[in-house]
């Protein structure tokens, strides 16, 4: 039996060699590699400036602070997303206001967002969940400053433009299993030099002429060395992800499963199937050695004790994420397809779900 993890990073000699050089240089904390990574990353995403930090959560926290978000302000975020967004808004001292998602894209529903805008709304955080571009055309018309959360969508596009170029700023995460990794790490990109300067000021506390609360959110050169190698491979990574997604689309079309709705800018960070009894299928796949996951652990409104998020609740009950990453081999891919079809195949659906 095969054992296939739900996700795993793609790391090899390019990363090892660059990390080795950094170690031997004796400069391992924030230094020249971080600066190179910021410049290369911003250029890749057709944006003027980048500021590297220690995580995606830190990136979002500092963007909120730099936009002046604080106590008494409200920040709209989707309910159906990881808890990092909740933490970042709370770190900034503001009030998170979850909004519901669209049923078929898992992304923010502009109509529901509009309902939740008040005089205190200071910002809107827009993730591109699972690598699928959010509806920025409609969200942009709401008149609220947008922070794009590209933690799952590095390299995705909308209307031919890179994700990360539509709002005041965009944040990225380089956690181990994200689209590209530095182990842990994050990045802010923006065309605003003052916003980026502010973030660079806040991420470090040393040698400042005056005292204000600051943070130690720095990225290390060792991490940036990984990031520079991974960035060079990003286009290949995305090609691999799309190839695997196409293979799933083709192989599963006849099963009656509800597959991801296509979008030209989708990078398939996750391949998420919508089905009743997702938990049961997950258990059966686990018995075959294949790790599938609920792609969002718990919708945020549930943490906050709120109700009125029917589509987030439905997604939570029905979404099943199956392995998709560049390091997935062809035999693994065939094995996943074979097992998924036999567990949820043709007329066997009812049995699979009972």
Ligand X SMILES: *Cc1c(COP(=O)(O)O)cnc(C)c1O
Binding site for ligand X (CB under 6 A): 55-57, 81-82, 84-85, 127, 149, 151-152, 173, 175, 186
Which lies closer to ligand X via its Cβ, residue 7 or residue 138?
7
Cα distances (angstroms) measured from residue 199 to each of 32, 68, 214, 253, 299? 18, 12, 10, 46, 29
Do 149 and 76 meet the contact criterion of CB atoms below 8 Å apart? no
Which lies closer to ligand X via its Cβ, residue 57 or residue 312?
57
Least gap, CB of 97 to ligand X (angstroms): 17
Least gap, CB of 94 to ligand X (angstroms): 16
Helix (H, G, I), strand (E, B) or coil at 97: strand
Least gap, CB of 129 to ligand X (angstroms): 7
Which lies closer to ligand X via its Cβ, residue 177 or residue 194?
177
- For residues 349 and 342, what is the distance between their CA atoms, to the nearest angstrom? 10
- For residues 179 and 157, what is the distance between their CA atoms, to the nearest angstrom? 14
* 319-322 and 157-158 strand pairing: unpaired
Least gap, CB of 181 to ligand X (angstroms): 10
Residue number, nearest CB to ligand X: 56
Least gap, CB of 58 to ligand X (angstroms): 7
Which lies closer to ligand X via its Cβ, residue 57 or residue 229?
57
- For residues 331 and 54, what is the distance between their CA atoms, to the nearest angstrom? 36
- For residues 30 and 51, what is the distance between their CA atoms, to the nearest angstrom? 11
Which lies closer to ligand X via its Cβ, residue 152 or residue 255?
152
Which lies closer to ligand X via its Cβ, residue 173 or residue 230?
173
Cα angle at 154 between 40 and 101, to 5 degrees? Answer: 150
Do 307 and 21 meet the contact criterion of CB atoms below 8 Å apart? no
Least gap, CB of 274 to ligand X (angstroms): 19
């Amino acid at each position: 039996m095969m054992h296939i993890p739900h996700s795993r990073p793609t790391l090899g000699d390019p990363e090892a060699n660059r990390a080795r050089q950094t170690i031997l240089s004796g400069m391992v904390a924030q230094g020249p590699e971080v600066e190179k990574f910021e410049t290369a990353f911003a250029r890749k995403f057709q944006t003027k400036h980048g500021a590297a930090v220690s995580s995606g959560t830190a990136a979002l926290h500092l963007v909120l602070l730099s936009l002046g978000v604080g106590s008494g302000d409200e920040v709209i975020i989707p309910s159906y997303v990881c808890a990092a967004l909740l933490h970042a808004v709370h770190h900034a001292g503001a009030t998170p206001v979850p909004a519901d998602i669209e049923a078929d894209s898992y992304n923010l529903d502009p109509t529901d967002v509009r309902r939740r805008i008040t005089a205190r709304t200071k910002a809107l955080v827009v993730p591109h969940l699972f690598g699928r571009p959010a509806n920025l055309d409609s969200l942009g018309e709401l008149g609220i400053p947008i922070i794009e959360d590209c933690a799952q969508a590095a390299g995705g596009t909308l209307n031919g433009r890179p994700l990360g170029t539509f709002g005041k700023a965009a944040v990225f995460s380089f956690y181990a299993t994200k689209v590209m990794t530095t182990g842990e790490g994050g990045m802010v990109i923006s065309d605003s030099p003052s916003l980026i300067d502010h973030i660079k000021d806040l991420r470090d506390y040393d040698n400042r002429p005056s005292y204000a609360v600051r943070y130690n959110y720095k990225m290390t050169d060792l991490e940036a060395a990984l990031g520079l190698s991974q960035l060079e491979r990003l286009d290949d990574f995305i090609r691999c992800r799309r190839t695997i997604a196409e293979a799933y689309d083709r192989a599963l079309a006849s099963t009656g499963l509800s597959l991801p709705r296509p979008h030209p800018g989708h990078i398939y960070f996750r391949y998420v199937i919508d089905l009743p009894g997702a938990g049961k299928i997950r258990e059966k796949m686990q018995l075959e050695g294949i790790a599938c996951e609920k792609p969002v652990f718990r919708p945020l409104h549930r943490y906050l004790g709120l109700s009125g998020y029917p589509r987030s609740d439905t997604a939570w009950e029905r979404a099943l994420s199956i392995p998709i990453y560049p390091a997935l081999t062809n035999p693994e891919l065939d094995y996943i397809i074979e097992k998924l079809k036999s567990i949820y195949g043709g007329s066997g659906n009812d049995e699979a779900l009972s």
